[in-house]
Each structure stands twice: as structure tokens, then as C-alpha cells.
A and B are shown apart, each in its own frame.
Chain A
């Protein structure tokens, strides 16, 4: 298919800084369609900032970001808007609209398209709820009534509501207990297998990384110091990578993930 020639994400020469603090210096990053990329790095290394630049929440000081070959800051608002319908983002805290019920949260992006009738939207909402393993009776709950794990699931259902080709995850398992985190990782992996979307995620949780990522990019010293399969990244000799992956526990987790 010709579509596979186009990179899902193409970051070129990205530089960002806040005041005097330089966050990124000439960052390049490529993600191919269908890959699951995990961005790792120490606290304050600019993982989330890079993610925000990718989805167009933050204008970089220099450089370009292209999704599916089109710039997120294209001059044409129609292109910008259509591009934003091709990816879904899962925020760390869920970012559910607290004034809307679970049902309306998931239906919101669908209604905004203005091409689907309410019956179709309703079917889609319950389909997505089923996908993230929630029950129909949860649809009428308000976000304030949900537990942490359920918030993540609803947020995932909302991120998936427009059938995105790219799913952007910011700390998908932060704040979940290991058991729930494990389930959530399995859920995303299962959905990815079925729907075939590309995944980019920021995480500091090695279990999540090992469970999901087919490729790993390591951010340190304001740039990407390593990018490749987990095994390739583990082989890179760099103090940060040694510290991050090569503690006894981390090594075991990553080995398990690779095998």
C-alpha cells in the first residue's frame, strides 16, 4: 500500500526552550506506521514536551513535526483539523470533560463530525465501551464517580472514538496499581493488534514499556541518544541507559519483554 511509504510521525530538527532552559536541541524522530514507540527519559528530560509538540499543543522554537506527511501547524485550517481527527490522545489524568457523562464524553468527538446520526453514535459509543471492557451501565456515570482505572479506560475509549491511525499516550499506566496497569497494557496491545494503529507513548514504567513498545527512544541531554528496538537500545553504552535499564530488576523486566 502506498500509505506505508509515509511516516506516521516525522520530527526534524526540533528545538524547544522555555525562557533560558533548553529542552530539546535538534531532535529527529521517525515513527513508521504500525510501530509502537516508547519514549523514555529521566524526569524533566522533555518527554511530555516532545509529545505535546508532536500533537501540536506546543509550538516548537525551531524544526518541524509532520504526521502522515502533513504539518500539524499547516497554514490551512482544514488540513490542521483533518489531521487532528487522525490521531487520538490519552492524557495522563484522563482529561475527561467533567461536566459530561461517560457516554457524552465518548460521543463528543463523534458528534463534532456532524456526519453521523444519533443512533450510529450510540452504537459506536457502546462498541467503544465494550472495547475497553466497560459495561453499558457505566455509560451514565459522571467522571467524578469513576475510579482511576475506569477514567483511563473511558479516556482510551474517547481517544479511540474517531478510529485514529495514531494513538498518543502520556503515561498510560501512571497512577494505576500494578495489576490494573498490567490489564491496561494488555488491553492496548490487544486493540492495537485488532485495529492496527500506531502508538507513541511516554512512560517511566518499565513494565509498560516492555509490555507495549516495539521500539524505544531514549531522551537525555536535550536530544534522543538512542532509538531502536529494545534490544538495540539496551546495547547502547551510555550512563543514562545503564542506570535506567540495567538495574537488576529493570534488566529482568526488559529481557522478559523482549523474549
Chain B
């Protein structure tokens, strides 16, 4: 099992080249380029090639020789029939194989247009999904026995109950940090007690819903997309369809409903943790007593803020589940598509939540502000 060897000698005025050893991928000496240069040099001298001493040759060896010969059979060649067939195979590789890639001059216009069309199509499909879910709701009113209770409660548990620890932790820490940084500022004005107003409004109305939405989009939204996507890859969606079971009713409806109900509860839970964190921090930093904080909170934060927070939670939950399910259904049966759609689902969900939050802020600007109209 020797590696590839080239020997050359001058006989009767012509260059004779003898190749021996294994001309196989595993046995070729590296770097291959050196070997190739040598072969090309010999070809240029119009040598007589003797390949009969080669013990084995594979396609790599054959292509190497064929390329060195300039894709032509050399003038005189001696080779065993089996080796010759390997060379013949290398000779039949089609040359005009590269599909010429057209370069568009205004490629960016196509990219931009493609993005806009894709966005439009996604929008249309989500509207269609909402319509389907409304039809399902109507169907369930007519046939209450078909309500998917098991799926609903499973989703409520997975996206609600199991999210309690992480939302509490994050809410608490945000409350601590916000309270700590604000109290440093408020102390310089001697406005210590306004920490209650600041924390109450910001956490209950704004931060609670948004933080929970981001967490839930990353946690449950991605899980929903991946689950539905894998069901597509493994043809489980097709199996459901052949059994005559509506996937929107059994898969999507319970997810959307469960998240729409779980999110407001998570928002309350997270906001409560945030307020407690802020309270602890205010107590440590400024010596504000817990009793005063709890007493003052309902006086300075109108109850409307709680309802706004809960309302946001409901809408955010519904949007996250809808977007996650929509992109889950868009997964094509390959791994690349699965990861791309899961990413898109989470990014889209968070972006949409922030946009909707801004719309909420505009629409409710006169509601729930102390001293406001």
C-alpha cells in the first residue's frame, strides 16, 4: 500500500513517465497541488505515460490525471483496463454544468419588493387565521361538546403555570433596579415619596405587560412555532387532516385561548413581583416603610392602570400565540426552515407587541393618569 509515485526517465529521446502506487484519495501525498504541478510539467513535455504499475486508482486520482493532461488523452498511454475505465469516467464529467447565475442590476429592488410582498402575504394569512378562529368559536358555541378541554388546559399549564417562576424573578429584579436608580434621583429633589407613584404607574401599566410579553414570546411563542413546525415535518398535521380533525380547532384555538387568558394573569403576577421588589429596594435605600408604600399605592395609582395592564396582557398574549402559530404553519419540511421560522416568529411577536403597546399608549393617554382628565 504505497502512496502515489511518479518516476520519469528519458529513453530514445522521449520522456517516459511511470506512475505506481495507490492513486486514491486516502493515499495521495499532500499538498495535492505540488503533485499536480509535477504532472502538468510532464504533460507539457509530451511524455509517454505508463500507468500499468498503479495498484489502485479512484476518481480523485483519475480526475487529477485527467486535469493534468489538459482534459485530453495523452499521445501514448499504457494502462490496465480497470484503470482506464476510471479515467474514462473522469473524462465524461460534463463541463457546461454551472447554471449561469444572472446578476440583476437592481437586485435590491427585488429584495425590497420581496420583503414587502412577504409581509403582505403574512398579514393576509394571519387575518385568514383570525377568521378561521372566529368560525371555530362560532362552531364551538353551536357544539359546546367539542371544546378541546385537554389541549386548552395543557397549554394553560405550559405557557401559564410553568412561566410563573421566571416572570416573578425578572419582575422582582426589574422592580429592585428601577426603584434603586429612581430613588437616587428622587433623593436629590427631596421627592422620596414619589417613588410609589413612579413605580406603581410604570410597572403596572407599562413594564409588567411588556416584560411578560417578551418573556412569553421567547418561551411559549418559540415553543408553539417549533411544535407545529415539527408536526409539519413529521407529517402529523397531514395525519390530523386525514382523520378529519380541524387543526385550527385542536391545535391553534386552544393555544391562542390559553395564552390570551394566561398572559393577563402573568402580567398581574409579574407586576406584583416588580412592586414588591421596588418596595424592598425603597425600604433599604431610602428607609421608606412597607406600611406607607402599601397604604399609598392605591391612592396614587388609579385602578384604571391595572385594567390597562390586564387588557394589554390579553391582547399581547393573543398576538403572540397567533403569530407563533402562523409561522409554525409556514414551516417547510427541512431543518433550515424550522429554525428560520422560529426566529421570525419570536422577532415578529416582540416587534408587534411593542408597536401595539405604542398604539395602546396613544389611545389610553387620558385614562388612569393621576390628576389627568
Contact = CB atoms under 8 A, between A and B. Distances in A.
Interface of A: 1-3, 82, 85-86, 97-99, 113, 115-117, 119-120, 123-124, 126-128, 130-131, 136-137, 139-140, 142-144, 162-163, 194-195
Given A99-B335, A194-B85, A127 B25 contact: no
Contacts of B59: 124, 127-128, 163
Contact of A123 (B1, B63, B333, B336): B63
A116 B97 contact: no
B60 A130 contact: no
Contact of A144 (B24, B60, B63, B334): B334
Contact of B93 (A123, A139, A163): A123
Interface string B10-46: 0000000000000011101011110000000000000
Contact of A99 (B33, B60, B64, B336): B336
12 contacts: A98-B336, A119-B67, A120-B67, A127-B93, A130-B93, A139-B97, A143-B334, A144-B332, A144-B334, A194-B85, A194-B86, A194-B89
A116 B60 contact: yes
Contacts of A140: 99
B334 A115 contact: no
A187 to B, nearest CB: 14
A136 B63 contact: no
Given A115-B32, A124-B59, A136-B94, A98 B335 contact: yes
B89 A131 contact: yes
B92 interface: yes
A130 B30 contact: no
B24 A163 contact: yes
Given A124-B63, A127-B63, A85 B26 contact: yes
Contacts of B26: 82, 85-86, 163
Given A127-B93, A144-B334, A163-B60, A137 B99 contact: yes
A124 B32 CA distance: 15
Interface in B333-369: 333-336
B58 to A, nearest CB: 4
Contacts of B333: 98, 144
Contacts of B97: 126, 136, 139
B94 A126 contact: yes
B90 interface: yes
B58 A195 contact: yes
Contacts of B33: 117
Contacts of B334: 98-99, 142-144
Interface in B45-100: 55, 58-60, 63-64, 67, 85-86, 89-90, 92-94, 97, 99
Contacts of A117: 32-33
Interface residues of B, number: 30
A-B pairs with lowest CB-CB distance, top 4:
A98-B334, A99-B336, A136-B97, A163-B58
Q: Which of B24, B55, B60, B67 has the largest number of chain A CB atoms within 10 A? A: B60
A231 to B, nearest CB: 29
Contact of A120 (B24, B32, B55, B58): B32
Nearest to A114: B30
Nearest to A163: B58
Given A99-B336, A137-B99, 17 more contacts: A1-B55, A3-B1, A97-B335, A98-B334, A98-B335, A113-B25, A120-B60, A120-B67, A123-B90, A127-B90, A130-B92, A139-B97, A143-B334, A163-B24, A163-B26, A194-B86, A194-B89
A120 B52 CA distance: 24
A136 B93 CA distance: 9
B64 A120 contact: yes
A82 B28 CA distance: 14
Contacts of B93: 123, 126-127, 130
Contacts of A128: 59
Given A127-B59, A131-B89, A116 B99 contact: no
Interface in B303-340: 332-336
B11 to A, nearest CB: 30
Q: Which of B28, B93, B336 has the largest number of chain A CB atoms within 10 A? A: B93
Nearest to B62: A127
